[in-house]
Amino acid sequence: MKTIQDLVTARIAAKRIEDEAVAKRREIDEQISLQLSTGKAEGTESMKLADIGAKVTVTYKVTRKVDTEALQAGWQNLSEDQQAAFKWSADVSVSALRKFQGDDLVKVSKFFESKPSAPTIKIEMI
């Protein structure tokens, strides 16, 4: 069985290789997206590469972030059609949730699902 030192050393080496591979892939992706770009901010461009038996598709997206406070303040001034441009979704405030116990926790727990996520491992060189 490997020691924790062996495992950490192996993970550091693997992470370094992974980071280098990701950086290289991102450089290549950028070059591909530039070659297929038609200048549209959003949409999809595809190209078949029969000589290598592949099809490449690049999807261009625009990220939009809502200023929730401003939207709430101006909500009544929007028409119904304008309001339809926005979706509302609830989120859990973990800090507020952790304050609940007993009946309060049971009552709010009916409205969300909890499942464990993958553990995060952080290794710092000292």
The model's confidence at residue 102, banded by pLDDT at 50, 70 and 90, is: very high
pTM of the model: 0.67
Q: What pLDDT shows up at residue 23?
A: 97
Task: Write out the two tokens for 4.
Answer: 């924790």
Q: What percent of the chain has pLDDT over 90?
A: 83
Q: What pLDDT shows up at residue 21?
A: 98
Q: What pLDDT shows up at residue 82?
A: 96
Domain regions of the chain by residue span: 1-63, 64-112
Tens of pLDDT, residue by residue over 42-77, are 999 999 999 999 999 999 999 999 999 999 999 999
Of the candidates 54, 58, 37, 38, the one whose C-alpha atom is nearest the C-alpha of residue 46 is 58
Average pLDDT, the chain: 93
Of the candidates 3, 57, 16, 17, the one whose C-alpha atom is nearest the C-alpha of residue 33 is 57
Tens of pLDDT, residue by residue over 40-49, are 889 999 999 9
Of the candidates 54, 78, 56, the one whose C-alpha atom is nearest the C-alpha of residue 66 is 78
Amino acid at 33: S
Q: What pLDDT shows up at residue 54?
A: 94
